Structures are given as C-alpha cells and as structure tokens.
Structure 1
Amino acid sequence: MKPNVIDEIVKNDLCIGCGTCAGLCPQKILKIQDNEYGEYVSSETKACDSGCGLCLEVCPFSNNENETQMGAKIYGSTEGMKYLPETGYYLDSYAGYSNEFRQSSASGGMATWLLTNLLKEGIVDYVICPSPQKNPEKLFSFEILSDENSVKAASGSVYYPVEMSEVIQKIMEVPGRYAITGLPCFIKALRLAAQKNRKLRERIVFTIGLVCGQMKSKNYTRYIAALAGNNSLNKIQSVYYRGKSPEKPASNFYFQSTDVHGSQHKIFWNEGVSEAWVNRWFTPNACNYCDDVFAELADVTFMDAWLPEYSKDSRGTNLMLVRLPKILAYIQKGVEKKEIKVSEISVEKVIQSQAGVLDVKREQLSYRLNLARQKKRKTLEKRVKTRSDIGILKKREVRLKIRMQEESKELFLEYYQNYTLDIKTFRDRMHPYIKQTRQLRLLGRFAFLICTIKKISKVEGKKDE
C-alpha cells in the first residue's frame, strides 16, 4: 500500500487543510474539519483499504514536485517568459488599481475587477473564491459564484481558514469554465490535482494567486475581535479584515466585526493587530515550511504595493505578476476602456515590496528546517538549503516566533471559555515574548548602526591615505 496523507502529513502536523485530498478521494472517506486550535485538517471517516496514495500525490506539503519544476512545465515554453528564483516564472509586472473596486477592496481592487470582467464577458462561467457566511463557527467558505454582484460582495482579504473539498467535487460534477482564487499552497494543490484529473485540468481555466506570508486559524479572528472589544464571540456575524481610513496610510488598515445586533467593533493594525500577525500567533505549523511567496503556479498573482511610493495612499494599490498572455490582453483592454489604471513596474520593485515575506520564507525557513531536523521532526524537501548560519539575532528571532506560535494556540484554549476570551490574562502571558522581540529589534538597530559607522570610518580612512 502507498503512504497516505493522514500518516505522512496530518500526523506530522503538516496539513494546511486545503481540502484537495478530500475532494479527490476515490473512496470519499476523507473530510476536512476543525482541530482544537481552529485550524482545518484532513481526517478519515473510516480506515483506508485501497492504498491508492492519491491523497498524498495532490498534497501541497508532500515531497512531490516543487514549484520551480511545475512552473517550468506550465509556463516555461511561453514566448517572452522570464524567470527569477524569488518570483518564479513571469511575463510582466505592473502596479495599478481599479477605478470601480479600489475603495471596497483590500488593496487596489484589481483581482475583483479581473474576476467580474471574466464573468461579464463570458470568458468564464463560474468564479470560485472565499465568501462571507454570517455564521460565527464558519465565517467564510469557498463558494462557486456565477454573477458579478456576488463576486463584488466577496471582495476583500480573508485571513480565515477555508477549504476546497466541496468545490472540487462540484467542478467535477458540473461542466463549465472556472476561475479560482487561492493562496500559493492552494494553487499548487489544484495544479497537482489537475495532473491527476482530466475534468479539473479542462474546467479550471484561470488560477488567480495571492501573495501569502502565513495563514491564520479561526482563533486568530476570535482573538482580534476580542481585542477590539467584542465580548460575545459566538454572536459575530461578519468580519472585515482590511478597512480603509482616508486619514491613515494604507498600511494602517482596520479590522471590524459586526454582531447579530448590528454592533460594530473596530481596531487598527497599529493598535495590536500587527503584534499578533507579525509574531506568527495562531499560524498553522505547515506555514513554517512554505517557500512560495508569489503564488508561482498562478496565471496572475496580486499583492499589496508595500513600497514607499504607494503605501502612504490610503486608497490602496495592487502589484501584479502576470504569467498568462490572455491575462495580459485583458489588462491592456481594461486600460484602453479606462476601467483600470496600470503602469509597468520593475520586477525588482515587486520583489522589494515583499522583502519581509521573502526573508521569512527563504532565509528563516532554512534555519527552521535545521531546527526541525535537530528535533528529529519530519521535514520537507524545500528549494532552500538547511542552514544554521543565519546570524545570532535572526536565529533568536526565529526561535522566539516559533515559541510564540505554539504558545498563542495553547494559551487561547486556556483562556477561551463560553465564547469569551480573557484577553487581559492572555496578553499578560504573551507579554514576556513581546518584550523579547522589542529587545531584539533594539539590538538589531544597534548592530546596524555599528556596521554603518564602521563602513563610514573605512571610507573616510581611505580618503585620508
């Protein structure tokens, strides 16, 4: 019998809960459900006796082909295609926004513009993306949408677990042309599944990727809602993760939750949201072993324009990496019709905009792999080499964030009772870690200052010779 996803992935805490295995399981014995930490994971309804191994072959966190190998097969022969290790394959890179959807979207509204236009012009029959559900236990899920208004209603970033098992089954049951949005690991899973299933290969005609630094559990949303002042977490009907305020830069967006009574609770990024996000609280373990920043297997990838020339604009701007000539043609048509404003931007600028994520998923990943192997944990074959020489401060940062990642999950369980979180005690228990991160930042700045002084002294010394 071939190894399966439960033994190789789930039992080693490497499941991201994408649902691809459950969607394709020939015996239909796999399902996706919450674990105690509010993360989706695959589980068996009964013991597998077929041993087909298909579930592991379509898992994005199994040791199958990597994104570079798969990208070469999908895009490598396209005329004008370029390649960089950071971005994978790409044709062109752009910065821009949609005139219609900019204000209602997390960034520039370009993904919403593209998806609604694909429907409007009859290029696709269905769009699949995360949509709000108004259910405190399941605030978002992947939905198959066939009209523009539904796509508009689903616009905005979603930092909440969703899974694809049901929509994958529906794609195989219902003929049509589908466009689907997803994070890097989800897009990879779909590409692996398409290699094994002809219907998926023929019916998924566009993949739209989003840059991802990490996923979050359901408990992340509960924590941020409690931090914003919502004390009845079972009454939350909807959340919005990326609200914009005209008086604040795009980087200082707000989270807002609305309960059954219509009461709203709001908190800005700089008021505590960033603390949980940057320090990897409530992040699934699988995210520690991802090296794909730019959704390298998507036909087009959208991201925030985290660059000085764009980030101060509260309205938001998208950066885009395009890999499919048809997408390029749609963008050019949108510019001509004045529906979008787009300009070319160097790929170096695109890479610069995601420098922090690249550091986490490449250099820091190399050290996380080293730590995992020291602890004799199952690790994955990644495109970065295992290293222990990434610098004393960075090594300390990686170890500290792993500890916070683990502690945040356990402490939430300890202080979450009857749909209420004891937010003060939780934060008091996490405070020593936050204090250490601040000390690390100060040490980092001091070390940078010393290096700069040394460089200046060296240059001045040469001038005096």
Structure 2
Amino acid sequence: MRSNVIEKIVNSDLCIGCGTCAGVCPQKALGIQFNNYGEYTPVQEKNCLNECGLCLKVCPFSDGNENETDIGTKLYGNIDGINYLFETGYYLDSYVGYAPNFRQSSSSGGIVTWILTTLLKNNVVDYVICVSPQHNPDQLFKFETFSDVNSVLNSSGSVYYPVEMSEVIQKVLKVPGRYAVTGLPCFIKAIRLATQKNRKLRERIVFTIGLVCGQMKSKNYTKYIAAIAGNDSLKKIQSVYYRGKSPDKPASNYYYKFIDEHGSQHKIFWNEGVSEAWVNRWFTPNACNYCDDVFAELADVTFMDAWLPEYSKDSRGTNIVLVRSPKVLNIIQEGIEKAEINVSKISVEKVIQSQAGVIELKRKQLSYRLYLAEQKGLKTPEKRVNASKDIGILKRREIKLKAKMQEESKQLFLGCYKDHALDIKTFRAGMNPYINQIRQLRLLGKFALPIRLIKKISKVEGKKNE
C-alpha cells in the first residue's frame, strides 16, 4: 500500500504548503487549508482510491525525488556557455540594476515587474501566474492567473505571507496556453517535479521566474507585525504592503504598511521590531529548516535584492538577476538595448556575496540542523548537505536558540491571540528570555573574535621566534 503526502510529509512537519500535491491529484482527493499556526497544509477531502503516489512525487520535501542539481542538469546542463557553481546552480550570466518605469512601485529594482509585463506585451506568454493582494483579512494574498498588464502591475511587490498553488495548477491543466510562473525556490522545484509527471504542465509552463528566499512566514507572522505596528483589531486589516521605501533611509530599512477597513494606516520599519521576528525565525515553517536552495536553481531566471554596500544604501532598491535560459537572456539584452532596464553585468562572486547570509543559513547551518534532527530521531528530507556538528560552539548555541524561538513563537501566539487581537505584553514576556540569551550570545561573539585574533597572532609570532 502506497503512502500519501499527509502521512509522509504533513505528519512529519515537513510540508511547506505549496499546494502542488492538491493541484495535480487526479482524483481531487486533497484540499489545502490553513492550520492553527497560519500555515497551509493539505487535507484529505475524500478517500484516495488508486493510491497513485503522485502527491509525493511532486513534493519538494519528499525523499526519493531528484534534487535540484539533478533536475537542473537536465534542464540547463547542455546549454552552450552554461556555467555551474554549487552555491548558485547553473547560470548563463548575471546582472545588477533596475527598471526605471517600475522601480518606485516595486519592492526592489522593479525588474521582476518589467519582465512579467514584457512577456505579456510581446506575446511571449498568454498568462502570468503571480501572487496578488485580496483585501480579505482571512486571506490577504493568493496566487492568481493574469492575461493583462495592469493586473500584473497591481500585484507588484514582495509578499511575506503563505500562498499555495493548487488553484492555478488546476487552471493550467484546464486552460490551454503559455504560462509564466513566479515562485520561491521550493515552489519552483514542485513545479518542475510536476512537469516531469504531467505533459500538459510541461508543455504549458514555458517560463519559471524564481525569487531568492531565506525563509517563509506563516499567516500569524503578519498578524504579529500588524499588532506591534499599532493595529488594535487584526480582523479589520484589508491590505498589507511589505516593502515600503523611504528616501531618507537605506533600502534595507524598509517599512510594512497595514491598511484597515476604514482606510487608516499603520507603518512599522524593519529596525523597529520587524527584524527581530525575522532574523530569529519566529513563525517560520519547519520545512524551511531543511532547504538548501538559495538561488531558486530550477528557475529560468532568478531575482534578488542587491544586498551589497555599493547598492543597499540606495533607498529606491536594486535587483540582481541570475539568468539560466537563453530565451530570458535575449529578453534581458533587448531590454538593455531599448533602455527599458538600466543594468550592467556583475560577477557571480558578487552575486554570491550579496546573499552571504542566506548561504550561511541554508548550507553551513543546515548541516548542524540536520545533525540535531538526526540525534533526535526526526525525519528529514534528503539534502545535498551532509549532517555535521562541525560548527563553532557559539553558532551551535545560536541555532538551538532560534529553533526554540521558532517553535515557541507558534505556540505562544495561539495562547495570546483572542477575539482578533494579540496580547503583545504576554507574548513578549514569553519570548524575552530567548531574546536576552541571543543578545548575550552576540555580545560574547564580539569579545570572542578579538580573542581568537590575538591567539592567532601569538601563535604566528611564536613560530617566528622558534
């Protein structure tokens, strides 16, 4: 008897909630719902008669499926001029810059919006699948399919909110056409796995656009940030904008803006409490602990923020673009010639440097998280990084503390959220012991660095005097 995705993935707390399994299920036996933590998970709506196992074959966190390197080799390995690095996967070229007409209205440099609208304007695709605001407090965002440029423009901007693809996948299966799909690394992997198993998806999804991702967040993350921003009733929130730009602040200190049913607005900047919840992994799904794909390796083109000193001070935002598809490369080059985008080439070393923090998280720290899970006897997906405890003692302590905060934030929120309002004081009281430990750890790290340097210098000088 074959198992399904609920038994193998959901019950092991490894589901990312992408919805691909429900989208491709031939018997429509699966649905997607929010769980108590504000995370999407599949639910069984009727008995699976044939037990085909397709739901597991398209799951990005299921064992037995090909990894990103194997799939990437099939997709891009034979392209003329292709390059490969373990950090980035395959790539043809890389650029940095912005799209002047879309920069201000976008979360970063606007090139994602430019390429999506260009694909539609030039009749390269018939439909674009991207995340769109819903003005519904119970579901603020969802994936939608658009055939017009204005709808794409209205969907511009980063979203740190759970979304799932079951409905749009079912639409691709029903409605013929050429589709471009945007998504995070794990979502793009699910799409690639699905196209391996379904001819219609393989023929109709002609472009994949990836976004670099450090972690996803639950629905409750947005509720928490809204609460500390000053929203009294979280039920009244109608829309959220996650990446507001201020001309007097660097691109890294953006703001979240919440608008309620009466049009009242509340704003909170990254440095005013957003960063605390983000970097300490509050409200992060467990599946994110086991992701090793930084650069959306299976996407035809991947976009990211230019988190480099020479660009991050510009409040208007700047994109880095990593291209894998020759067709996308041609589109980029035509955009340069027509002055639709203002970009220049950037070395892949700089691309990697721009995402150093995410690489540290998804490669070096992942090895220790796999080790910890192994020691606890927990199920983990097969990864390209081996389990290891070979990491500094301070870093080990930090990873353990953030793992505790990750779990505690989910549980504590449930006890502090009543009548669509969050008891921030009680929630903060529960999280503060962890925050204090993290602060002490960072302070210790500042002292440990010069001590290590002194020891290293002393060792070198000692050898010279021998």
Q: Match of 1:213, SS?
A: coil
Is 1:433 aligned with 2:404?
Answer: no
1:2 Cα deviation from its structure 2 partner: 2.1
Any idea what the Cα deviations from partners look like across 1:172-197, whole Å, max 9, x if unmatched?
A: 11011100100000000000000011
**Alignment correspondent of 1:242:** 243
**Alignment correspondent of 1:92:** 93
1:460 Cα deviation from its structure 2 partner: 5.8
1:25 Cα deviation from its structure 2 partner: 0.6
AA matched with 1:9: I
| C-alpha distance in structure 1 between counterparts of 2:442 and 2:180, whole Å | 42
**Alignment correspondent of 2:54:** 54
**Alignment correspondent of 1:41:** 41
AA matched with 1:140: F
| C-alpha distance in structure 1 between counterparts of 2:311 and 2:458, whole Å | 35
1:461 Cα deviation from its structure 2 partner: 6.2
Q: Match of 1:382, SS?
A: coil
1:389 Cα deviation from its structure 2 partner: 1.8
Q: Match of 2:87, SS?
A: coil
1:459 Cα deviation from its structure 2 partner: 5.6
| C-alpha distance in structure 2 between counterparts of 1:222 and 1:208, whole Å | 28
Is 1:21 aligned with 2:21?
Answer: yes
1:178-257 aligned within 5 A: 178-257=179-258
1:287-436 aligned within 5 A: 287-436=288-437
Q: Match of 1:205, SS?
A: strand
| C-alpha distance in structure 1 between counterparts of 2:167 and 2:200, whole Å | 15
1:451 Cα deviation from its structure 2 partner: 2.1
1:363 Cα deviation from its structure 2 partner: 1.1
Deviates more, 1:437-446 or 1:195-204: 437-446
1:458 Cα deviation from its structure 2 partner: 5.1
Q: Match of 1:443, SS?
A: helix
**Alignment correspondent of 1:135:** 136
AA matched with 2:189: K
**Alignment correspondent of 1:10:** 10
AA matched with 2:36: E
Structure 2: gaps spanning 5 or more residues: none
1:449 Cα deviation from its structure 2 partner: 1.5
Is 1:449 aligned with 2:450?
Answer: yes
1:455 Cα deviation from its structure 2 partner: 3.8
1:144-163 aligned within 5 A: 144-163=145-164
Any idea what the Cα deviations from partners look like across 1:416-437, whole Å, max 9, x if unmatched?
A: 0000001122112101111111
- Equivalenced residue count is 465
Q: Match of 1:282, SS?
A: coil
AA matched with 1:43: V
Q: Match of 2:370, SS?
A: helix
| C-alpha distance in structure 1 between counterparts of 2:253 and 2:392, whole Å | 30
CA distance 1:463–1:316, change in 2 (3 Å): farther
| C-alpha distance in structure 1 between counterparts of 2:303 and 2:381, whole Å | 27
| C-alpha distance in structure 2 between counterparts of 1:455 and 1:164, whole Å | 52
TM-score normalised over the length of structure 1:
0.98
| C-alpha distance in structure 2 between counterparts of 1:269 and 1:203, whole Å | 39
1:312 Cα deviation from its structure 2 partner: 0.5
1:462 Cα deviation from its structure 2 partner: 6.9
**Alignment correspondent of 1:76:** 77
**Alignment correspondent of 1:126:** 127
| C-alpha distance in structure 1 between counterparts of 2:463 and 2:377, whole Å | 50
1:284 Cα deviation from its structure 2 partner: 0.5
Q: Match of 2:243, SS?
A: strand
| C-alpha distance in structure 1 between counterparts of 2:446 and 2:77, whole Å | 42
Structure 1: gaps spanning 5 or more residues: none
AA matched with 2:38: G
AA matched with 2:37: Y
| C-alpha distance in structure 2 between counterparts of 1:415 and 1:396, whole Å | 27
